[in-house]
Amino acid sequence: MQDMIAQIVEMDEKARRITEQAQQDKLHAEQEIAIRREQIEQEYLERARERLKKNEQTERELAIQALKESEAKNEEAAKRLDAQYQEKAEQWVQQLFERVIGE
């Protein structure tokens, strides 16, 4: 009987040690998961920041290019208007004069 009680006590202690070890393993695994999760978040944020920097530079370059193209178009239009004015200025002045005087 004493042997059975000793075995039961020993099995209980062994079960407690196993349970305690399992709880420690679980806690350790949860800590590792939390650390890894934080690492993954930081890596993701860093990659996102890098993409934003690249996109920002690309967008800036595209905006500058669009501005240059717009300025070139405006300059060309101004040149055409100046040329047309040089060509037809006297005609336009004469037409305006005739309309004002004619009325």
- Helix (H) or strand (E) holding 20, with range, is helix 2-102
- Encode the chain (103 residues) as per-residue pLDDT tens digits: 788 888 888 898 988 999 999 999 999 999 999 999 999 999 999 999 999 988 998 999 999 999 999 999 999 999 999 999 899 989 988 888 888 887 6
Q: CA–CA separation, 1 vs 39, rounded Å?
A: 56
- pLDDT at site 82: 92
E strand residue ranges, the chain: none
Helix (H), strand (E), coil (C) string for 60-79: HHHHHHHHHHHHHHHHHHHH
Q: Which two tokens stand for residue 14?
A: 């062994």
Q: CA–CA separation, 37 vs 40, rounded Å?
A: 5
